[in-house]
A and B are shown apart, each in its own frame.
Chain A
Amino acid sequence: MADQTALFEYLLRLGDNTLVLGHRVSEWCGHAPVLEEDIALANTALDLIGQTQMWLGLAGEVEGAGRSADDLAMLRDVWDFRNLLLVEQPNGDFGQTLMRQCLFDAFHFELLTELTRASDDRIAAIAAKTLKEVTYHLDRSSETVIGLGDGTEESHRRMQAALDLLWPYVGEMFTPDAVDDAMKAAGIAPDLTALRSRFDIRINETLIEATLTKPDSNFAQSGGKTGFRHTEHLGHMLTQMQWLQRAYPGATW
């Protein structure tokens, strides 16, 4: 039986990743360069927010303190969030948004594939459902990275700049800590080193086809999934995401 505190932390990580990324992607709604892309971004955001309900809902159940998915999403402040630093980065231009999506999707796809085999049935069930949607996300983001990378001079330049900017956030996804170790010991989460190998194969293939150069550095920013040090961006994002729930506690439609 898994350590319940570690399990709660781990579920927060999964739910906060999809919550923060879902919110970021939703910021494009109404502003995307092309109508079809606006719809695709909104649909992706919807999937991610729906997945958040399942992950944070289970987190609340495991915590056993009566907090619902809504309570967890809307009433915690920055230091209690457990998302990766990658997903809280600002959208930047459309290319940067899709580069961030592609890097996350490649990790998310491999992780969920492993989580379908988790020793905890509830986690395996959520993973099985979300993996189907994330497969479509990965399809689209990698296709778009390839299309823009191997596109015009301008699109190529912007994609390379996006890759250079976001690459330092990749390492955190695969750097195990005590929570990851506890989940691995419980037969819930996979070995992150093995996951990194699969991620690398996938990303290398995409970047080569996109004619983009993978940065040479192994430096990894950290502090997101532990909550120790989020970037300056998350607080600002939460002021937009949470203001209504904070200003009118208990408000309902």
Chain B
Amino acid sequence: MTPDVSTIWGWLDQVPDPEIPVISVVDLGIVRDVTWQDDTLEVAVTPTYSGCPATSVIAMDIETALYDRGVTNVRIKTQIAPPWTTDWLSDKGRAKLADYGIAPPSPAGGPDACPRCGGAHLTRISQFGSTPCKAHWRCDDCLEPFDYFKCI
């Protein structure tokens, strides 16, 4: 059984990121390519940060999602070039991040507004937040801390 590639992309768009379950591995730009090599489905995956503990979980989740839909001949190919960048985050993904309370990456190098109250008076506490991909900021209006998804 060889479902077409666009169907498979749709399935992978339903695989959530383990750490931020409101966005998918496709939103994050982690899945780079989906191709049939004879009867093996090859999924090219790019790791985000080198030490991201979710990387192997994501590979497993992708395999499981495909097995559950009857595609059992799967090969996950790890691709480190070109290196993952937040530029690959989909617009849909950015909106979902903001909704969830994580300020999405911005070329300004910092968040535009507090994801809770919309305030613009923001202080960076640390470039390293709850995970390697996030920085720790505080809103000086509502005084709540929040995560900012760093540009890389």
Q: Is the CB of B132 within 8 A of A51?
A: no
- Does A191 lie at the interface of the complex (its beta carbon under 8 Å from any beta carbon of B)? no
Q: Which of B116-152 contact A (CB under 8 A)?
A: 125-132, 136, 150, 152
Q: Is the CB of B49 within 8 A of A39?
A: no
Q: Is the CB of B132 within 8 A of A46?
A: yes
- Does B81 lie at the interface of the complex (its beta carbon under 8 Å from any beta carbon of A)? yes
Smallest distance from the beta carbon of A14 to chain B beta carbons, Å? 13
Contact A47/B127 with A125-B81, A129-B83, A132-B83 known, Cβ cut-off 8 Å = no
Looking at B10-18, B19-27, B50-58, B100-108, the stretch in contact with chain A turns out to be: B50-58
Smallest distance from the beta carbon of B55 to chain A beta carbons, Å? 8
- Does B60 lie at the interface of the complex (its beta carbon under 8 Å from any beta carbon of A)? no
Chain A residues positioned under 8 Å from B131 (CB to CB): 43
Q: Is the CB of B152 within 8 A of A133?
A: yes
Chain A residues positioned under 8 Å from B83 (CB to CB): 125, 128-129, 132
Which of A36, A121, A126, A132 meets B126, CB within 8 Å?
A: A36
Chain B residues positioned under 8 Å from A132 (CB to CB): 83, 85, 152
Chain B residues positioned under 8 Å from A45 (CB to CB): 51
Interface size on A, residues (CB 8 A): 27
What's the Cα separation between A49 and B84 when bound, in Å? 18
Task: Find the residue from A43, A46, A53, A121 having the highest chain B CB count within 10 A.
Answer: A43
- Does B80 lie at the interface of the complex (its beta carbon under 8 Å from any beta carbon of A)? yes
Which of A37, A51, A121, A139 meets B50, CB within 8 Å?
A: A51
Chain A residues positioned under 8 Å from B126 (CB to CB): 36-37, 39-40, 140
Q: Is the CB of B80 within 8 A of A39?
A: no
Smallest distance from the beta carbon of A62 to chain B beta carbons, Å? 16
Chain B residues positioned under 8 Å from A126 (CB to CB): 80
Q: Is the CB of A50 within 8 A of B80?
A: no
A interface residues (Cβ-Cβ under 8 A, vs B): 36-37, 39-40, 43-51, 53-54, 121, 124-126, 128-130, 132-133, 136, 139-140
Q: Shortest 7 CB-CB distances between A and B: which pairs?
A: A50-B51, A50-B50, A46-B51, A40-B128, A125-B81, A129-B83, A43-B128
